[in-house]
Structure 1
Amino acid sequence: MADTTVKIDTETRDRFAAVAAARGQSVRAYLAELAIQEENQIKLGRATAAFREAISQPGIAEAFDRDFGGIPEPVHASRRAA
């Protein structure tokens, strides 16, 4: 893959470098990983919107609950160790 140059201000460059160093990565590797994570967040947002649209249709939420047992109860973080 060919290299390219992206112009950013020095403060942003330094912030990227500091985060990458703290993670034990090069800036190149960090930015590549960051791009993948952001792409995945966009895809997850689209999938979430599609799911919400699907279950908003009449009868779908009820069928989901019937077939899959509904949404599980949240685990409470208030449990304390003895």
Structure 2
Amino acid sequence: MADTSVKVDTATRDLLKKLAGDRPIKDYLAVLAEKEEREQALNTATATFRRVLPEATLERFDADFGGLPPVKHDTQAA
């Protein structure tokens, strides 16, 4: 896949470099994007389970396993 560039301020660039450690920033961003994609899929699944499962089932699941994670609302959705 061809590389491209993204403009970020220097503070963001410096933070990304720090978080990436020894990895190239582009590799770190690829991993970060995959994690976010999984997080969004889990968030969708959680919301679906909460919508379709009976309340008694959710309460029992909460009691036995600590419950489904809360649905995270994307504050940066377009």
Q: Residues 42-69 of structure 1, C-alpha deviation per residue, up to 9 Å, x if partnerless?
A: 1111000000011147xx73xx89xxxx
Identity %: 39
Greater than 6 Å deviation, 4+ residue runs:
none
After TM superposition, the score normalised by the length of structure 2 is 0.69
1:44 alignment counterpart = 42
Q: Give 1:34's match in structure 2, choosing from 7, 28, 32.
A: 32
Counterpart-to-counterpart distance in 1, 2:54 and 2:10: 47
Instruction: Structure 2: give runs of 5+ residues left out of the alignment.
Output: 67-78
Q: Tell me: CA distance 1:15–1:47, structure 2 relative to 1, closer, same or farther (3 Å).
A: same
Quote how far apart the aligned CAs of 1:73 are. Answer: 5.4
RMSD: 2.3
Query: For this pair of structures, how many residues does the alignment match?
Result: 64
Aligned partner of residue 8 in structure 1, secondary structure: coil
**Relative contact order (C-alpha < 8 Å, sep 6+): which is higher?**
2
Counterpart-to-counterpart distance in 1, 2:13 and 2:65: 44
